[in-house]
């Protein structure tokens, strides 16, 4: 996975309500504030969501988001398992993977939570990963980003400055960094103490969330403890994150004290998925495909792994990257014999068949998955791909139009829709789908151009549809200049 430095550093400095940022006070000293309502802070939920969406689009534009349907689906399910144990179950959240091996996670307004793949690789159990995610969820439910506005120095919202720096930095990192530094310099000191209080509160609430969702409440303390031990081994070469965001003995002690006496509620959930997703990330993140194959093979031969099926799955994915389809297919067939309804295995099986030009077999594999999971977005994603390869454009378009009515979809689905519309010779539909695709990957100028082409191509379309396209162009323009219209 490509390195992603500029946006990563900006997010870490301001927005990254990190898992390891400041020392804790004792749990019994922590007072829960009366948050009041949204109006108290002058920021509406709609404004928060728009802010979060804008930041995500800017991160995606810089190559920082890993748009993998299986990983995203796993993170969403894990996140909502935590959220369902709170009184914020109706609030919308979205979890996404950041293309960075640095250990980090952050919360954005509107319920958006980013998790670096390096953090997932550092965890040894789903409970540990859940502890980090619960911490970030608590930042959002306690509306820490909104409270940060109130603790500012009157120089404007922190998030607006960060987004501006990102946009300026899109074509010139030096300009973006200068804008960011100028805005941030006068704010940082006044924010430090306020952020410490946020971190204390997020740990406190996150640990309770873990227990309520059925996870080990001690997992936060155990994860922090391991990070502390590992950080001591680096010496002068300590990674940037651990230097600027220390995990302290106080924080570990307070997390332990908070978890003591909390008993996790009984919940039946699939523990295998965690190991499969970690193996998938290892296979995707390793740029040297031969090295990935060698590493998976060594671990399988030596028996040095946590979960054999996950190791075999990762090995199969590494083989697919190296076009060793027959060998990968054999491994996946064995895995499916033991676990025939596992989506990860079905998807990999269909992918290897499609890559090996066994298009009809691939179509059949994904059709079977659709029968098992007709509303699952992961299955729909790969099923649509197989439909497009089989030139079944009407079915692909209809399925995409149905799933795209729901929020927070992967941008690639709009690219698929453009392919389906192209196969049906619908030029207006092609451009409209490409407009949405470009908007969601952070390219508003190209989105405007494509939507204008869509309007020019829509000779027989009615007034209502063109009015909707005009409205979307106005949305795209506001991404470039807040408050702008298409007039």
Report pLDDT digits (tens) over 327-365: 999 999 999 999 999 999 999 999 999 988 899 999 999
> Would you say residue 34 has pLDDT above 90?
no
Picking from 422, 423, 425, 474, the residue whose alpha carbon sits closest to that of residue 434 is: 422
Residue 52: the pLDDT is: 84
> Would you say residue 128 has pLDDT above 90?
yes
Q: Does 165 share its domain with 285? A: no
Asked whether residue 443 is assigned to any structural domain, the reply reads: no
Q: Does 102 share its domain with 229? A: yes
Question: How far is residue 117's CA from residue 99's CA, in Å, rounded to a whole number?
Answer: 6
Q: Does the annotation count 371 as an active-site position?
A: no
Q: Does the annotation count 136 as an active-site position?
A: yes
> Would you say residue 8 has pLDDT above 60?
no
Q: Which residue has the higher pLDDT, 267 or 372?
A: 372
Q: Does 20 share its domain with 76? A: yes
Question: How far is residue 381's CA from residue 82's CA, in Å, rounded to a whole number?
Answer: 25
Number of domains observed in the structure of the chain: 2
Picking from 369, 362, 361, the residue whose alpha carbon sits closest to that of residue 342 is: 369
Q: Does 89 share its domain with 218? A: yes
Q: Does 183 share its domain with 115? A: yes
Catalytic residue among 72, 136, 353, 479: 136
Asked whether residue 487 is assigned to any structural domain, the reply reads: no
Q: 435-439, long-range: CB within 8 Å, 24+ apart, which pairs? A: 435/472, 435/476, 436/411, 436/472, 437/411, 437/412, 439/57, 439/475, 439/476, 439/479
Asked whether residue 417 is assigned to any structural domain, the reply reads: no
Residue 165: the pLDDT is: 45
Of the residues 326, 357, 388, the one at which a domain ends? 357
Predicted TM-score (pTM) of this structure: 0.83
Q: Which residue has the higher pLDDT, 289 or 233?
A: 289
Residue 166: the pLDDT is: 45
> Would you say residue 81 has pLDDT above 50?
yes
Question: How far is residue 385's CA from residue 370's CA, in Å, rounded to a whole number?
Answer: 13
Mean pLDDT of 110-119: 92
Q: Which residue has the higher pLDDT, 128 or 182?
A: 128
Q: Which residue has the higher pLDDT, 412 or 58?
A: 412
Mean pLDDT of 367-386: 95
Residue numbers of the domain that contains 68: 6-259
Of the residues 224, 259, 294, the one at which a domain ends? 259
Query: Length of the chain, please?
Result: 487
Mean pLDDT of 463-479: 90
Q: Does 292 share its domain with 186? A: no
Q: Please provide the average confidence, as pLDDT, over all residues in the chain.
A: 80
Q: Which residue has the higher pLDDT, 280 or 37?
A: 280
Residue 123: the pLDDT is: 94
Asked whether residue 325 is assigned to any structural domain, the reply reads: yes
Pairing mode, strands 65-66 and 105-108: unpaired
Q: Does 249 share its domain with 140? A: yes
Residue 335: the pLDDT is: 98
Report pLDDT digits (tens) over 39-78: 455 667 777 888 888 888 888 888 889 999 999 999 999 9
Highest mean predicted confidence (pLDDT) among 6-20, 33-47, 71-85, 221-235: 71-85
Per-residue pLDDT band for 246 (boundaries 50, 70, 90) equals low
Q: Which residue has the higher pLDDT, 19 or 232?
A: 232
Catalytic residue among 73, 100, 199, 203: 203
Q: Does 136 share its domain with 20? A: yes
| Torsion, CA 152, CA 155, CA 158, CA 160, rounded to 10 | 150
Q: Does 156 share its domain with 304? A: no
Question: How far is residue 446's CA from residue 57's CA, in Å, rounded to a whole number?
Answer: 14
Asked whether residue 441 is assigned to any structural domain, the reply reads: no
Of the residues 259, 290, 305, the one at which a domain ends? 259
Q: Does 232 share its domain with 277? A: no
> Would you say residue 476 has pLDDT above 70?
yes
Asked whether residue 411 is assigned to any structural domain, the reply reads: no
Question: How far is residue 343's CA from residue 336's CA, in Å, rounded to a whole number?
Answer: 10
Q: Does 80 share its domain with 195? A: yes
Q: Does 217 share its domain with 100? A: yes
Asked whether residue 437 is assigned to any structural domain, the reply reads: no
């Amino acid at each position: 996975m490509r390195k992603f430095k500029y946006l990563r550093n900006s997010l870490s400095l301001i927005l990254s309500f990190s898992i390891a940022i400041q020392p804790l006070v004792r749990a019994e000293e922590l007072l829960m504030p009366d948050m009041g309502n949204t109006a108290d802070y002058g920021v509406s939920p709609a404004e928060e969501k728009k802010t979060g969406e804008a930041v995500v689009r800017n991160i995606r534009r810089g190559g920082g988001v890993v748009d993998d349907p299986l990983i995203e689906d796993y993170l969403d399910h894990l996140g909502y398992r935590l959220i369902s144990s709170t009184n914020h179950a109706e609030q919308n959240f979205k979890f996404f993977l950041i293309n960075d091996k640095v250990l980090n996670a952050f919360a954005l307004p509107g319920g958006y939570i980013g998790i670096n793949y390096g953090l997932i690789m550092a965890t040894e159990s789903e409970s540990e990963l859940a502890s980090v995610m619960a911490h970030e969820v608590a930042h959002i439910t306690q509306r820490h980003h909104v409270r940060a506005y109130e603790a500012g120095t009157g120089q404007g919202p922190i998030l607006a400055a960060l987004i501006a720096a990102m946009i300026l930095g899109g074509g010139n990192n030096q300009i973006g960094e200068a804008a960011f530094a100028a805005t941030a310099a006068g704010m940082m000191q006044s924010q430090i103490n306020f952020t410490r209080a946020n971190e204390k509160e997020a740990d406190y609430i996150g640990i309770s969330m873990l227990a309520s969702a059925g996870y080990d409440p001690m997992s936060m303390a155990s994860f922090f403890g391991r990070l502390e031990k590992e950080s001591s081994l680096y010496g002068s070469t300590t990674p940037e994150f651990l230097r600027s965001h220390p995990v302290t003995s106080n924080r570990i002690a307070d997390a332990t004290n908070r978890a003591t006496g909390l008993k996790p509620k009984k919940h039946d959930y699939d523990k295998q998925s965690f190991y499969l997703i970690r193996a998938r990330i290892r296979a995707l993140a390793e740029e040297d495909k031969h090295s990935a194959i060698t590493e998976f093979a060594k671990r399988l031969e030596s028996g040095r792994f946590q979960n054999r099926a996950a190791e075999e799955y990762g090995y199969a994915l590494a083989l697919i990257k190296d076009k060793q389809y027959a060998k990968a297919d054999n491994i996946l067939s064995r895995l499916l014999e033991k676990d025939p309804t596992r989506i990860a295995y079905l998807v990999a099986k269909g992918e290897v068949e499609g890559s090996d030009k066994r298009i009809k077999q691939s179509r059949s594999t994904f059709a079977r998955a659709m029968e098992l999971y007709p509303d699952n977005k992961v299955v729909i994603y790969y099923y649509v791909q197989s439909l497009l390869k089989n030139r079944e454009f009407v079915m692909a378009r209809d399925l995409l139009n149905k799933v795209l009515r729901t929020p927070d979809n992967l941008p690639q689905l709009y690219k698929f829709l453009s392919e389906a519309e192209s196969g049906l010779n619908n030029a207006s539909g092609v451009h409209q789908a490409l407009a949405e695709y470009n908007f969601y990957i952070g390219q508003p100028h190209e989105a405007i151009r494509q939507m204008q082409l869509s309007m020019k191509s829509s000779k027989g379309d009615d007034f209502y549809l063109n009015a909707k396209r005009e409205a979307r162009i106005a949305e795209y323009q506001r991404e470039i200049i807040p408050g702008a219209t298409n007039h």
